[in-house]
A and B are shown apart, each in its own frame.
Chain A
Amino acid sequence: KAGVTQTPRYLIKTRGQQVTLSCSPISGHRSVSWYQQTPGQGLQFLFEYFSETQRNKGNFPGRFSGRQFSNSRSEMNVSTLELGDSALYLCASSSPGQQWETQYFGPGTRLLVL
């Protein structure tokens, strides 16, 4: 099976812009989670989508949003970018089952905000 894919791999944006990141889960996986990784804050959970619905949410402002499509692909959007949004954004997918089943991570999208 193909692994989790994320596009684009690298992005450079300026403050105030918005950005959309994409994640394609492993075939058959219906849960997609998003994480932000920074040197200062480490790995932080953004949100999780399951069957096109946001099932869980971390403590991020409303500028961070997401959605999931019927084919389980997910997008994450960040509006009004701030310098502090520079980070590696990781997506992870898991198969149906109990919550917090094993997550399989993608390679990440590295976002630089100037």
Chain B
Amino acid sequence: AQTVTQSQPEMSVQEAETVTLSCTYDTSENNYYLFWYKQPPSRQMILVIRQEAYKQQNATENRFSVNFQKAAKSFSLKISDSQLGDTAMYFCALGTGNQFYFGTGTSLTVIP
């Protein structure tokens, strides 16, 4: 069975600081995709970053980057220079086989 685990229900970070959100997953598939989605209080889910499992290079999108450790099945998200607008629920997700799996989410609060 496929699973996605986010062990940090809540986190906080000072504005302009760096924070890392953890995610581990389990799958027996060789081909899969990993995602971080952000859901601000307004509820619209937004893609933060996407990683194909066959790519060794870690994905980056401006202030967002991932540390993809395939052997360890770990997929953490690093947010640099945190901004107030980064306050949201962050979901790690796995797309594989014929299903899509979300973790339980990490609520991130950026403190001014």
Contacts and interface: CB of A to CB of B under 8 A. Distances in A.
A99 B31 CA distance: 10
Interface in A29-80: 33, 35, 42-45, 48, 55-58
Nearest to B6: A42
B98 A92 contact: no
B96 A100 contact: yes
A88 interface: yes
Nearest to B100: A45
A103 interface: yes
Interface residues of A, number: 23
A56 B96 CA distance: 11
Counting chain A CB atoms within 10 Å of each CB, the highest count among B32, B37, B45 belongs to: B45
Interface stretch (A10-18, A19-27, A104-112): A104-112
Interface of A: 33, 35, 42-45, 48, 55-58, 88, 90, 92, 99-100, 102-108
